[in-house]
Structure 1
Amino acid sequence: MDGSCKHFISLSLAWLAFFCLYFTFVSAELQRFQQPVKADGSLSFLVIGDWGRKGAYNQSEVALQMGKVGEKLSIDFVVSTGDNFYDKGLASPDDPDFKDSFTEIYTANSLQKHWYSVLGNHDYRGNVRAQLSPILRRIDSRWLCLRSFIVNTEMAELFFIDTTPFVDEYFRNPKHQKFDWRGVIPRKKYLRRVLKDVESALRESVANWKIVIGHHPIRSMGHHGDTKELIMQLLPKLEANNVDMYINGHDHCLEHISSITSPLQFLTSGGGSKAWKGDFHYLDRDEMKFYYDGQGFMSVELTQTNGRIAFHDVLGKVLHSLDLSKQLYTAM
């Protein structure tokens, strides 16, 4: 075989490898995880956001009450809505903040379940790949954090979305706050893929309950308020695909806003540690159902046809609850 033939074969193999890698990248679906439900078919979980402060700002007190409520409800898992480690995420997979703010804080037996977590804007200010690293799962097997993914149960699907790259403000002055955009740039291509994957997954879902989780609120009367980028780009897809709940953190409060144009409920659980005080935006009274600017967390209980959501304060007291009902759809 002469040199030109060898060169041609080598070049062809290189292009073949490139196209295989390319099509794997652009056609990759959201990673899915199976979560079993209880023997009676019900499901329960807790939601906490904006928490990782080594126990400070009542993080430890909130964790204590989470343990008690988690035991009472016999929860199946915990959801984290992001800003998992303050102030700048994790520096590396062996960053001691992981143990100091997670493993050694959420020690109750009832909380020794899977923790499904998304990234927040403060997490992006550290080493994002550290939080996504499987090394953390070897340190604490509860931990699972990815950019966007799906958790499947028998009755509900939870769609976790990476919302930080949607926010224009974070890209306007990169010298003011540095973010780890590895894996996100080019941004427009990344966002198109996220939206396409989420829309496709929502459209194909046959779950009786569809729940979407992100760090940033779509609607909020808290400190940060509405996220206009999500209202424009994500909200129409949620409404078109009959999503029941959008759950978020980012605003350090607990709140419930009910959509007046669809059955969608906007639920904020961002009171895991430091909370805002007296800083809010006014909303229409028909939309605003509940707002509390202190620490706390949220619990969710689901059956095939009924759901109950409750907001708990730092003492475990239920401040607000809502009951939802669904028609049970069966395949023909």
Structure 2
Amino acid sequence: MAVLCKKNVALCLLFTITSGLCFFHSSAELQRFEHPTKSDGSLSFLVVGDWGRRGAFNQSQVAHQMGRIGEKLDINFVVSTGDNFYDDGLTSEQDTAFEESFTKVYTANSLQKQWYSVLGNHDYRGNAEAQLSPLLRKIDSRWLCLRSFIVNSGLAEIIFVDTTPFVNAYFTDTKDHTYDWRGFHSRKLYIANLLKDVELALKESTAKWKIVVGHHAIKSVGHHGDIKELSKWLLPVLQANNVDFYMNGHDHCLEHISDTNSPIQFLTSGAGSKAWRGDIKGLNRGGLKFFYDGQGFMSVQLNKMDAEIIFYDVFGKILHSWRTSKQLHQST
């Protein structure tokens, strides 16, 4: 069993999660979307999370700066790390919050690109199926939100992971909130199959850069901190398969933490609107390179040799930049 686990982390976790079941139902392969690079082979995109408040809490100001930076970098697309609509997701495909928090806020020309989005816990508090509906794409063609999927450019492969079902509290602490778990016949099998699909995609990827996006943080010094279920189940899969970046929202802040056990960089961009919570967990944490408890967003620029990550505040000021070279396997 030990040898099997070393070769296939997700399969090992599958046996553990399913608590003795001798078989499992294989999930469908993650849906893939091809997104070409620029003519020079590079790729650039913005990352924002926890934003949908009809322009309030400086959402509109962040959106304005995203438009400015997006034009400067000639971005290919935008990544949303979840909690797309507050406080309780959408009520239906006809909910006006979709246009009032998305279409009418992100109006800059540079942001009229594809948006790739995952669901956050606040999205699951509403009609989660509504955000996944193709009907929203008829309202605004930029919108693409699925539970888990892959965006591949050849240069980079980005795996979007539905992290909310991993968190035990959303199934046990239901006094104040209810969650839309329609379609979940077995949470354990859902998680196990998702881990298997993620590991398979990472193992088969030939992309120069491997990126995983989820709503919840694996490592964070913000309000919510580390999500222990992701540290237990998802992190070993990422570490075993040479993932370069894990990007998330959930904590309403901007932060950069280096893994002490692998080359993975943990990048939180959850500051698209309401922020400034003021509670911080351990700024002396090992691997912490940057933390900002305020509003803003992140840009990612990739080519075959280098990656550059930049964090911006609500005024578009650069707060933190970090570059790494793939060839030299070292960062500055």
Instruction: Please report the TM-score for the alignment, with normalisation by the length of structure 1.
Output: 0.90
Q: Which has the larger radius of gyration?
A: 1
Structure 1 position 260, deviation (Å): 1.2
Question: Does 2:127 align with 1:98?
Answer: no
SS in 2 for 1:29: coil
TM-superposition CA deviations, 1:37-60 (whole Å, max 9, x none): 100000000000000000000000
- Residue 115 of structure 1 deviates from its aligned partner by 0.2
> Secondary structure of 2:121's partner?
coil
Q: Deviations over 1:197-230 (max 9, x none)?
A: 1011111111110000000000000000000000
Q: Aligned to 1:257, what secondary structure does the other structure show?
A: strand
Question: In structure 2, what is the equivalent of residue 37 of structure 1?
Answer: 37
Structure 1 counterpart SS, 2:225:
coil
Q: Letter of the aligned partner of 1:106 in structure 2?
A: Y
Number of the residue aligned with 2:321: 321
- Tell me how far apart the structure 1 counterparts of residues 202 and 122 of structure 2 sit (CA, whole Å): 28
Tell me if 1:303 matches 2:312.
no
Code of the aligned partner of 1:290: F
Match of 2:287 in 1: 287
Shift of 1:149: 0.2
Is residue 214–residue 249 contact of structure 2 (8 Å, CA) maintained in 1? Answer: yes
Shift of 1:27: 4.3
Matched with 1:212 is: 212
Residues 221-255 of structure 1 show CA distances to partners (whole Å, capped at 9, x for unaligned) of: 00000000000000000000000000000000000
Taking the aligned partners of 1:210 and 1:289, their CA distance within structure 2 comes to 21
2:26 alignment partner, SS class: helix
For residue 184 of structure 1, report the CA deviation from its aligned partner: 2.5
**Letter paired with 2:48:** I
Please give the per-residue CA displacement for 1:244-302, whole angstroms capped at 9, x wherever unaligned: 00000000000000111110000000000000332110054441100000000000000
Tell me if structure 2 keeps the 8 A contact 1:54–1:100: yes
Report the equivalent of 1:52: 52
Runs of 4 or more consecutive aligned structure 1 residues displaced over 3 Å after TM superposition: 283-286
The Cα offsets for residues 61-84 of structure 1, whole Å up to 9 and x where unpaired, read as 000000000000000000000000
Give the match for residue 64 of structure 2.
64
Structure 2: gaps of 5 or more residues = 1-24
Contact 2:308 2:321 in 1 (8 A): yes
What amino acid is the match of 2:198? V
Q: How far apart, in 1, do the equivalents of 2:91 and 2:276 lie?
A: 26
The yes-or-no answer on 1:154 pairing with 2:154 is yes
1-structure distance, mates of 2:164, 2:28: 21
Deviation at 1:325, TM superposition (A): 1.1
Q: Residue type matched to 1:257 in 2?
A: I
Please say if 1:195 is aligned against 2:195. yes
User: In the alignment, what sits opposite 2:260?
Assistant: 260
Tell me how far apart the structure 1 counterparts of residues 159 and 198 of structure 2 sit (CA, whole Å).
8
**CA-to-partner distance for each residue in 1:118-161, whole Å, 9 max, x for gaps?**
00000000001100000000000000000000000021000000
User: Residue in 2 aligned with 1:230?
Assistant: 230
Q: Distance in 1 between matches of 2:139 and 2:173?
A: 36
Identify the residue that residue 4 of structure 1 maps to in structure 2: none
Q: Secondary structure at the match of 1:234?
A: helix
- What is the distance in 2 between the residues matched to 1:158 and 1:56? 30
The residue number in structure 2 matching 1:163 is 163
Give me the identity figure in percent: 68
SS in 2 for 1:26: coil
Distance 2:197 2:126 in 1: 26
What is the alpha-carbon distance in structure 2 between the residues aligned to residue 203 and residue 131 of structure 1?
30
The whole-number CA distance in structure 1 between the counterparts of 2:265 and 2:148 is: 21
Contact 1:44/1:77 (CA < 8 Å) preserved in 2? yes
Give CA-to-partner distance per residue, 1:84-125, whole Å, 9 cap, x none.
000000000110000000000000000000000000000000
Q: Which secondary structure state, in structure 2, belongs to the residue aligned with residue 237 of structure 1?
A: helix
Distance in 2 separating the partners of 1:205 and 1:224: 32
Deviates more, 1:272-281 or 1:95-104: 272-281
Deviation of 1:305 after TM superposition, in Å, equals 1.2
Superposed counterparts of 1:102-113, under 5 Å: 102-113=102-113
Q: Report the Cα offset of residue 185 of structure 1.
A: 3.4
Distance 2:200 2:255 in 1: 29
Distance 1:286 1:97 in 2: 40
- How many equivalent residue pairs? 305
